[in-house]
Amino acid sequence: MAKKIDSKIPAGPVPEKWKEYKAHQRLVNPKNKLKLDVIVVGTGLAGASAAASLAEMGFNVYNFCIQDSPRRAHSIAAQGGINAAKCYQNDGDSVYRLFYDTVKGGDYRAREANVYRLAEVSNNIIDQCVAQGVPFAREYGGMLANRSFGGAQVSRTFYAKGQTGQQLLLGAYSSLSCQVKAGKVKLYTRYEMEDVVIVDGRARGIIAKDLTTGKLERFSANAVVIATGGYGNTYFLSTNAMGCNCSAAVQCYRKGAYFANPSYVQIHPTCIPVHGDKQSKLTLMSESLRNDGRIWVPKKLEDAKALQAGTKQGWEIPEEDRDYYLERRYPAFGNLVPRDVASRAAKERCDKGFGVNNTGLAVFLDFSESINRLGLDVIMQRYGNLFEMYEEITDVFPGDVANEINGVKYYKPMMIYPAIHYTMGGIWVDYELQTSIPGLFAIGECNFSDHGANRLGASALMQGLADGYFVLPYTIQNYLADQAVWPKVSTDLPEFAEAEKAVDAEQDRLLNIRGKRSVDSIHKELGHIMWEYVGMGRTAEGLKTGLKKMAELEKEFDTNLFVPGTKEGLNIELDKAIHLRDFFTMGQLVAFDALSRNESCGGHFREEYQTEEGEAKRDDENYFYVGCWDYKGKGNEPELIKEPLEYEAIKVQTRNYKN
C-alpha cells in the first residue's frame, strides 16, 4: 500500500484556490516583525530573492553560498529570458494561457494548482524587477520588448540581451545587499552546507564548511530553506556551471526528504556539440536563437556524408536540398517546439545519418533568412553576445557571408546538438514549498514543483523568482507562525554534534582511500554511463545495465579514489569528491525512477513507449502521478511513494505541436 502524500492544496477550482489561499495568508501580518531566524542555502535567483524578501519581512536570515559572491551563482548563466503573461504584444496572452502552455509543455505531469499560481505571479516578477532597475530590452517606443520561446505561440519572454539571468541576479543582489546593510541578512560566502540537522523531526539547522579554512561550523535556525540548484552535472558534461552540484539536495534526501520525479531531466537542443574527450563543460546557445534561426540538416545522405568528411560546407547546400525538419514535422510551432521535442527530432535525424560535423552528431542553426530579411544589425542587437560567444569557442562567426546562390546570400550556420541542461525533478515539496521534513523548504531548480516532465524555455527564472519573491515569503509563515513560541535550538545539542562528526568522518574516509584515480576521471566515467544508459533514449534493459555499471563504478570510487591534501584549509578536490559521492546517489535515483516509469513523457523517453511517428507515448492510466522516492540506505533501492495528480481546470490530452 503506497504511503499517502498530502500536498496541502485547498479545495476548489484552481483560480479560486490561490485567491483563498492568499486571503488566508493575510492573517499573518508581514509587518509584524518576528524575531525568527531562517537559513537560506543558495544565492542564485531563488535563494537571493528569498533571502532579501524574508529579511524585508522582518526575519533574520543567514544566507550561504559556495562562490565568493552571491553574484556568481549559476543563475548568471541564464541567457534567453523570463516568461510573464503581461500580453504587452496584444497577441492573446493571459494568465490562463501561460498556465495552459506550461502544463502542456510539461506533458501533463506537473501539479496543476502550482502552475496556476506560478502563472498568476509571473507579472508581479516583471514589475518587481523593473522597479529594481533590471535593464530589460525595450521597444523603440519605450515598452518592454518580448520574444518567443518554445512551446508558446505568443511572445511573452522578457529579456536583457543574452544576459537575462545576470541582470536579474544583479537586481536580486541589490535587494539582498540592502538587507545585509540593514543587518537583517548575514552572508556566508565560500561556505558549503554539508548536512541538514534534524531535531525532533524538524529541520533546525545545518552543518556548513568554511571552504577557505576547512573548518566545520554549526548553524541553528527556526527553518531551513535550500535553493541550491539542479543535478544536471551528474552527467559530467552539461551546460551547467562547473560548480553546480546536488549535494545539499541529496543530504536532505538522505535525511528523509522525498525526492520527486528524478528521471525528468531536460536535454536542450541548442548546445555547441561535444568536440573531444578532454572537454569538461558544454556551452548553451540560447533557445532565443530559435526565434530567428532555422534548424536544418541536408535532405540527401550524400551531402551529409560530404559534410562529415569536410569536403563540403553547409553554405554550399542550396535551399531546395535543405530539410528544415522541425518546420516540416511541426508546422504550427516550427522551430519553436518545446525542447524535448526538438532534441529528439535532432537525434532522430543524426541517428539516420543526416547529422553534420565530423562526428555526424550535429545539426545546423542558420540565420541566413533572418539576416537577409532584417539585416545583420538587428540580429546583432538581439543576439550579439551569443554570436560572439559562438565565435570565441568555434572560430566561426554566424554573421559572416559565406556564399551566394541564385542571388541569395548564405551565412555561416552554427552547429548545435542536444546536451543535458536542466533538471525538472527535485526535492518534493507541498503547495507551501515545504519538503516532507517539517521546517525544511526547497525552492528554485532544486525542487520539483512546477515543470512536470519538461520545462518550457524562460520558465526556470520565472519559477525561481516566483518562489523567492512571492510564494515562499507567504507560505513559510504558516510554519513559522507556530515557531514564535519555540526558542532557537542550541547548536550544542547532540543532534548537531552527531551530524558534524559524521561529516568529519566522511571527509576522513575519502582522504584515506589513497587510491589511484582522480575525482574527475571517475566523474567522467559516471557521465558516460548516464548519457549512454540514462540519457535521451532509455530502455528497461539499458537502465538495468546502467544501474549495474554505476554500482561497480561506485565501488571503484570507494576503494580507488585519490584525494590529495588534507581537510584543513582549501581543498577543492575533497569538495569535488563529496559532490561525486552524491552524484552517484543521484544517478542511481534517476535510473530507478526511469525504470519504474513505463511510459514516455516530456524529457523522459523510454524507447519501448513511442508512437509510430516517434513521439512520446504517455500512459495516464498507470503513471499519472508524481513519483516520490524515500531513501533506504546506500546500495538499497529507495521506496516509491505516489502523489496522484488531480486536474480540474485543464483537460489532459496528448500533446500536439503539429497544428
Binding site for ligand FAD (CB under 6 A): 41-47, 64-67, 73-75, 77-82, 164-165, 192-193, 227-229, 239-240, 244-245, 247-248, 284, 421-422, 444-446, 458-461, 464
Our CB check for ligand FAD shows the closer of 502 and 551 to be: 502
CB of 455 to ligand FAD, least distance (A): 8
Q: How far is the CB of 166 from ligand FAD (least distance, A)?
A: 10
Q: Which is nearer to ligand FAD, 154 or 547 (CB)?
A: 154
Spatial distance between the Cα atoms of 491 and 2, rounded to a whole number of angstroms: 36
> Do 479 and 439 touch, CB atoms closer than 8 A?
yes
CB of 26 to ligand FAD, least distance (A): 27
Helical residues (DSSP H) of 466-571, grouped into ranges: 472-483, 494-513, 519-533, 540-560
Sheet architecture: strand order including 259-260: 426-427, 259-260, 625-630, 639-644
Q: Report which DSSP code applies to 446.
A: G
- For the record, the C-alpha cell of 450 comes out as 512546477
Closest distance of CB 580 from ligand FAD, Å: 14
Cell 529541520, residue located: 203
Amino acid identity at 644? P
User: Measured from the CB atom, is 444 or 542 closer to ligand FAD?
Assistant: 444
CA distances from 43 to 74, 248, 458, 599 (A): 9, 13, 19, 36
The least distance separating ligand FAD from the CB of residue 285, rounded to whole angstroms, comes to 9
Instruction: Write down the catalytic residue from 218, 339, 344, 597.
Output: 339
| Residue environment code for 391-417, b if the CB has 16+ CB neighbours within 10 A, otherwise e | beebeeebbeebbeeeeeebbbbbbbb
Catalytic annotation on 339? yes
CA 503 to CA 574: how far, in whole Å?
12
**Closest Cα partner for 390 from 79, 659, 177?**
79
Do residues 467 and 50 touch, judged by C-beta distance below 8 A?
Answer: yes
Helices (H), 321-367: 325-329, 339-351
Nearest distance, CB of residue 229 and ligand FAD, angstroms:
3
The CB-of-188 to ligand FAD minimum distance in angstroms stands at 8
Q: Which residue, 284 or 628, has its beta carbon nearer to ligand FAD?
A: 284
As a whole number of angstroms, the distance between CA 283 and CA 241 comes to: 10
CB 413 within 8 A of CB 429: no
Nearer to ligand FAD, 68 or 552 (CB): 68
Q: Of the two residues 64 and 605, which places its CB atom closer to ligand FAD in the complex?
A: 64
Report the distance separating Cα 348 and Cα 445, nearest Å.
29
**Between 389 and 547, whose beta carbon lies closer to ligand FAD?**
389
- Which is nearer to ligand FAD, 190 or 299 (by Cβ)? 190
In the complex, minimum distance from the CB of residue 503 to ligand FAD, in angstroms, rounded to a whole number? 11
DSSP state of 468: I
Q: How wide is the angle at C-alpha 448 spanned by C-alphas 445 and 451, nearest 5°?
A: 85
The cell for 298 is 541536408
Long-range contacts of 212-217 (CB under 8 A, 24+ apart): 212/569, 212/570, 213/568, 213/569, 213/570, 214/566, 214/567, 214/568, 214/569, 214/570, 214/571, 216/500, 216/503, 216/504, 217/191
Annotated catalytic sites, by residue? 339
